[in-house]
Structure 1
C-alpha cells in the first residue's frame, strides 16, 4: 500500500493559486469515520488509514477483492455495494444503518466514475433521539410551507436547523450580485455575539469551493482540532480519489485556520441552490466538537431543499409579475412609438412608468436634438450626459450599465458631480443620437464586514502565504460614489426596450424616407405651375404683348407676384422643416412690431391670392409686441392656410387677434367636422401619415402646423387645438414681450 497521490502537497497556497487549490482530491478524511473505495470488480483500491480501527472488523487488503467474510459478513453491506456497482447514479448516495460486533454504523454509498465509495460513520444517536428529531423535522416542514416571504422562510430555516442539530449558532447567508455574502437571519445561543447584518467578501469562498457546494450540498466538520487521516491507495494506483461527493472529505487547511480564528470547533454548511446557482447557505457553528449523525444531516438537507423550493416559488412569482408588467409597458411603448411622428414627445407620458419599471430616480430621452428629462435632474446635466454618451469611442455596447458613473463610463460628466452614480443607458438610434438613459442617485452605504475584507499574507520560506483573517470583529466601511446595482431583470427589460425602440426608429426612418420621396415629387409638381406662369409672363413682357404695360396691378404682374410667393412659401417650409429635423431649430430675431398692421397686410395679400375665401376679423387698432415679424407672419399665414384648406366651402374663416394681459392671443376658426381623436397626438408633427392622399389638401406637405408650433415655442408660447360650436379652432398664445426685451 502507499499514500494516495496528492496527500502531501509541496506548494503553498498563495494569491496566484488559491482558486486552483485541489480541494476535491485532498487525499485525507476526517477521523470520525472510515472510507473504502472499490473498483467494478470489487477490488479495494483506496482505504482510509484508520479504517480497521474505526470499523473493528475484517477488511480486504488494498488490492484484494471483497469476500463474503469481510465487513462483518453483514449481507446488507455486501448487497448495498453490489447494487451500487450495478445501478448507482453517480453523485446520488444511498444510506442504510448496519450493525456488527454490537456497534451501529451509518453506511453511505455513492458511485464516482468506475468506483464505488463506501463511507462508515459510527451512530451516536439513540432511538429516542431519532424519534424526537423526526417530529422536529416534520414541524419544520410545516412551518416553512406557511411562510409568505423570503425573510420568513430564512428565519424559520435557521431556527429549525438549530433545533435539529444543537449547534450554538445557525446563520442564513445570502449571496449578493458581487458574490459577497450577508448574514440575513440568525438563531444563536444567547451569550454569543450577533452576526446578523454582517457581510463577508466573495474571497471567503473561492471558486472551487463554490463548485463543491453545488455538487455536495451538505458538509460537516465534526472537530476542527483533530488531525485528518490519510487515504491509502493500492500499489499501482496513480490517480487520486475524487472525493467531491464524499461526506468524510477533509477540509482545506486555510478553511480550518479560518474557523479557528472565529473560535469555531465544529461547523456544518448546507447549500441553498436555486436555478443551478449557489443562492445562499445555512452556516452552522459550535464552540465544541459536534458530530451530527447522517440522518439528522439529511433532514437538514431536506429542510434546505424545501426552503430553496419555496424561495424559488416566490422568486418565480415575482419574476412573473415583473415580466407581465414589463410586457404591458413594452406594449404601450411599442404602440406610442409606432404611431408617433416624434418619439421623444410620444414617450413623454410614459416616462414615469418607465422610470418605475427600471427603478430609476430620473429618466432622459434624447433624439435628433430633442431632450426630455423626467425626475429631479437638471436639464444642463442631462444634456452633458447625452453629449458624453454620444462622444464615447466605438465600439461600445448599445446598453451600458454601471453603479459608478464617475469611475467607469464618463469621468468628466456633470451627472457624477451632481450625485448621479447609477446609469443604465440604451442607444436606440446611432444616426439621430437616440438614447434612453435611466439614472440612480448615489447610495451611501455603511457595510459591517466580519473583519477586514482584504486577504492577509504572512511571509514564509516560499514567499507570502495566504492566511485567513485573524480577527472577525466588525469592521465598518463607508462606500461612496456608487448606486444600488441594476438587477438582471432590470437589465433584461432595458434590452427589451432597446429592441422595441430600435424597431420603432427603423420604421419611422423608413416612413420618413417615403415622405421625403413624396415631398420631392410634390415639390416637382407644385413648383411646375408657378414656374410656368412666371415663364409665360416673362415671355409676354419680353415681346411686349398685350398687358405688358399698363397700370400697376396688371394681371401679369399679379400672376408673377402670386407665383413667386407660392414658390417662396414652399421652399421656405421645406428649409424650415429641414432645420428642425436636424436639430438646428428656427432663427428668431425679435424687434418691436405692430401685430395688427402685420395681420392686415397678410389678409390683404390673401384676398388677392384667394378671392373666393371670405375672412372675418376681429383685432384692435394697434397691438405692439416684441417679436420676429417674418416668423409671426409665417405663423399667421400657416394657420390661415390650414383653415382655408380644411374649412367647409363657402363658410368664412374667423380670425381674432387680441391682447390678454401681457400675452398676445391669435385665434383662427373654420367651420368643419372635428379632427379625429387618433390624429390629434400628431397634429404638429412633420410628414404626418394622414397628410398624403388628403383630398382636402392635396398639395399639402404636412409642415404648416409643425412649423407654426416651432415658431410659437420659439417665442415662448404655445398653440392649442379645440372644437367649439361646429368650428375647428387653433389658438396661439405667446408673451407680447420677453423678459429681457426693452420697454416699449
Structure 2
C-alpha cells in the first residue's frame, strides 16, 4: 500500500495522477474496468481516466447525463465513501422491525444496504454484474467517483475495500493540493501583473495608456482573448474583440441591462442575441463597472470553445407516461455513443478571475480619482458627492445626535443614584464619556460633510493607545469570553485624532460584531511602516462578504444581504472611506463568505 500511495503522489499533472489512480485501484480489487468519473457544474459526469481489460472497448471521454446519478445519490456518496454491489442478481433481504419499535431504521452507513432497483436495472442494461464506487471529494464536496465495473459477480473483502478507500482519500488530498497549487500560481502571476500596472498608473499621464499601451495590459490581469477599456467616451481595444459598431451596441445594452458593479457569463449570446454574430471572439464576457454615470467600464472577452461532446446515449431521455398518466421512472437502456456539438460557450470565469478584477478596479478608481482633472469628471463626481453628503448629514443629525444626547442624560441621572454600586458608577461614567466622544465625532463629521474641504488638525497619534481604548469599550459591550483580540505591532501615525479614532472604532467594531456567531471569534490587528507609508490590517473570522458585494461595501447606506438581521445603518464604511481619502490614504477589503474579512488601510507617513 505504501508503494501504491508513493506511486500516486509521484505525478504532478492532474491527468497522470488520475490515470495512475485508476491503475492502482484496479490492481487492488482486480475489476474488469476502473474509471475516474468527474462531475461537471450541471451534475453530468465525464470519464477522465480509465484502466480496463484489453478486450473491452474504451469509455474514456464519454459523458453521462446528470440523471444517471441524481442529486440524492450524490449526497449519499459524500457520506459513504465506498459502495459495493457484489452481484446485481442477488435478492435483497427484508428487514423486519419489532412491532413495539415504530422508529425508522437508518441504514445510511450500512455496507449491506440494498440499492435502488432502478440502479440495479441500470447496471443490468450495461451488462455489468458487479460494481464498486469510491468517492473523490474536494473541499467537502463530491468532485467525482472512482467507478469500477465487473462483468461477472465479484465480492471485495473488507481489507481490499479499505485499501481502495484509502487510495480515494489520498487522491482527494492530492486533488486539493494540486488545485491549491494552481490557484497560488495564478494568484502570483496576477500579483506580478497588478504590481506592474500600479506602477504604470503612477508613472504614466493617462489611465488609458497605463492599461492598454504599456508592457503590462488588461490582458495580463485575467486570462482572456480580448479586452476593452471604455473611458471618457472613448473605447480602447486589446486583442480579439467585437468591431466598433458591435461595441457601441454593446455599450447601450450594458447601460440598460447591467445593474450590478460586476457582471459575468460564459454564454453571452444566450442573454444578448446580437452577441451570436461575434461568438468566435466574445462568447464569454466579464464586465467591471468603473462608473455607470460616466459610462466607464473594464471588459474582458473569451472566445467560444466549440466542443463535440460524446454522450453514452442520448442525454435527453424522453419522459414516458404509463397508462394511468403517471410518470414512468425507469433507467436508460441505450448506451450507444451520441455526439452533441456545443457552441457559443466559453471557458467559465473563476473566483480568482473575479478577485483579480475587483483588486484592479480599486487601483484604477484610485488612479482615476487622482488623475481626473477635466471639468466633466469633477462636476459629475461632485454632484454625486453632494447628494451623498446631504443624505449623510440628515442621517447623522436626526438619527444619531438625539439618541446620544438621551443616552448621556440618562447616564447622568443614574450616576446620582446612590444605590448603584461602585462598578456600576464607573460604567455609567464611561457611558457618559463615550457619549461626549461620539458627539464630538458626529460634529466633526458634520462639519466635514458640509464644507468638504475642512482643514484637518494633523497631530502625532499613539495608535496602540487608541486601539487599546477601543478594545476596552468593545469588551464591555460584548462581554464574550471566547472573543480573542490580538494586537500586533501598530506603528504610530499622524492624522486628525478624532477622525482616525472613528476609522479604527468602526473597523474594529465591525470585526468584533460580525465575528460573534463564530465558535471562537478572533480579531487580529497589526501594522507596519514601509517607506513613507503606514499600513494597518484588521482581520476577523466572521460571516464574511460575498465577492460581488465587495465592490459596493463603501457606498452610503449599502448593507449586505447576510447582515440584515444584525444592527447597523450602512453608513460606517462610507464614512471610513471618506476619512481615509481625506488623509490621502487607501482602504481595500478582501473577504470570503463564512471565512472572514480583511481590511487593509494605508496612510502617508509624515515625520513629526
TM-score by length of 1: 0.48
1:158-557 to 2 correspondence within 5 Å?
158-337=22-201, 342-349=206-213, 353-381=217-245, 383-384=247-248, 386-393=250-257, 396-408=259-271, 410-413=272-275, 416=278, 420-460=282-322, 461=324, 463-506=326-369, 508=371
Rounded Cα–Cα distance in structure 2 between residues aligned with 1:217 and 1:287: 23
Shift of 1:515: 7.5
Cα distance between partner residues in 2 of 1:514 and 1:379: 27
| Compared CA separation, residues 507 and 219, structure 1 to 2 (3 A) | farther
Report the alpha carbon displacement of residue 391 of structure 1 after superposing the two structures with TM: 3.1
Is the alpha carbon distance of 1:191 and 1:503 closer, same or farther for their aligned partners in structure 2, counting shifts above 3 Å?
same
Q: 1:511 to 1:391 in 2, by over 3 A?
A: closer
The answer to whether the 8 A contact 2:212-2:218 is kept is no
Instruction: Evaluate the alpha carbon distance shift between residue 388 and residue 228 of structure 1 in structure 2; reply closer, same or farther with a 3 A threshold.
Output: farther
Q: 1:381–1:414: 8 Å Cα contact kept in structure 2?
A: no
Correspondence for 1:66 = none
CA 161–387 in structure 1, closer or farther in 2 if over 3 Å, else same: same
CA RMSD of aligned residues (A): 2.7
Task: Give ranges in structure 2 of 5+ residues lacking alignment.
Answer: 381-608
Instruction: Check whether the contact 1:165–1:292 (CA below 8 A) recurs between aligned residues.
Output: yes
Partner of 1:20: none
Cα distance change, pair 181–488 in 1 and its aligned pair in 2 (3 A):
farther
1:418 and 1:189, CA in 2 relative to 1: closer, same or farther beyond 3 A? Answer: closer
* Correspondence list, 1:32-51, <5 A: none
Contact 1:421 1:442 in 2 (8 A): yes
Distance 2:74 2:22 in 1: 21
Could you tell me how far apart the structure 1 residues matched to 2:307 and 2:274 are? Answer: 24
Whole-angstrom distance in 1 between the partners of 2:134 and 2:79 = 11
Whole-Å separation in 1 of the counterparts to 2:97 and 2:230: 70
Q: Is the 8 A contact 2:74 2:142 kept in 1?
A: yes
Q: Which runs of 5+ in 1 are unaligned?
A: 1-136, 518-744
Residues of 2 paired with 1:163 and 1:364: CA distance?
Answer: 53
Secondary structure of 1:452's counterpart equals coil
Q: Does the 8 A contact of 1:427 with 1:434 survive in 2?
A: yes
1:383 Cα offset (Å): 2.6
Counterpart secondary structure, 1:250? coil
- Alpha carbons 2:309, 2:340 under 8 Å: kept: yes
Distance in 1 (CA, whole Å) between partners of 2:101 and 2:214 is: 69
Distance in structure 1 (CA, Å) of the matches to 2:162 and 2:115: 20
Q: Quote how far apart the aligned CAs of 1:488 are.
A: 3.2
SS in 1 for 2:319: strand
> How far apart are 1:315 and its partner, in Å?
1.4
1:270 Cα deviation after fit = 0.5
**Structure 1 stretches of 4+ moved >6 Å:** 510-517
Superposition deviation, residue 318 in structure 1: 1.2
1:272/1:278 contact within 8 Å kept: yes
Q: Is the 8 A contact 2:88 2:130 kept in 1?
A: yes
CA drift of 1:138 comes to 3.1
Q: Is the 8 A contact 1:428 1:505 kept in 2?
A: no
CA spacing shift, 1:400–1:223, aligned 2, 3 Å: same
Deviations 1:19-71 (A, max 9, x none): xxxxxxxxxxxxxxxxxxxxxxxxxxxxxxxxxxxxxxxxxxxxxxxxxxxxx
Q: Give me the whole-angstrom Cα distance separating, in 1, the residues matched to 2:313 and 2:11.
A: 33
Equivalent of 1:152 in 6, 9, 16: 16
Could you say what secondary structure the match of 2:297 adopts?
strand
Give the drift of 1:509. Answer: 5.5
Rate the CA distance shift 1:509–1:203 in 2: closer, same or farther, 3 A.
farther
Residue 435 of structure 1: how far off its partner (Å): 1.2
- Partners of 1:358 and 1:389 in 2: how far apart? 23
Report Cα offsets for 1:296-342 as digits up to 9, x if no partner.
11100111111122222221111111111222223333344456653
Instruction: Give the Cα separation in 1 of the matches to 2:131 and 2:207.
Output: 59
Aligned to 2:534: none
Residue 320 of structure 2: SS of its match in structure 1? strand
1:507–1:290 distance in 2 versus 1, CA, 3 Å: farther
CA distance 1:498–1:256, change in 2 (3 Å): farther
- Equivalent residue, structure 1, for 2:603: none
* Matched position secondary structure for 1:358: coil
Q: Judging changes above 3 Å, is the alpha-carbon distance between structure 1 residues 222 and 462 closer, same or farther for their aligned structure 2 residues?
A: farther
Q: CA deviation at 1:279?
A: 1.4
Larger Rg computed on CA atoms: 1
Asked whether the equivalents of residues 423 and 437 of structure 1 are also in contact (C-alpha less than 8 Å), the reply is: yes
Distance 2:276 2:161 in 1: 56
Deviation at 1:355, TM superposition (A): 2.1
Q: Is the 8 A contact 2:201 2:367 kept in 1?
A: yes
| Cα distance in 1 between the residues matched to 2:125 and 2:74 | 21
- Sort the Cα spacing of 1:145 and 1:503 in 2 relative to 1 into closer, same or farther, 3 A: same
* Structural mapping, 1:117-136, within 5 Å: none
Q: Is the 8 A contact 1:159 1:187 kept in 2?
A: yes
* CA contact 2:279–2:344 (8 Å) conserved in 1: no
- The alpha-carbon deviation at position 512 of structure 1 amounts to 7.2
- Distance in 1 between residues matched to 2:369 and 2:42, nearest whole Å: 37
Residue 553 of structure 2 is matched in structure 1 by none
Q: Are the aligned partners of 2:197 and 2:217 in contact in 1 as well (CA < 8 Å)?
A: no
Counterpart CA distance in 1 for 2:69 and 2:83 is 14
| Equivalent position of 1:603 in the other structure | none
Cα distance change on mapping 1:448 and 1:348 into 2, 3 Å: same
Give the number of equivalent residue pairs: 380
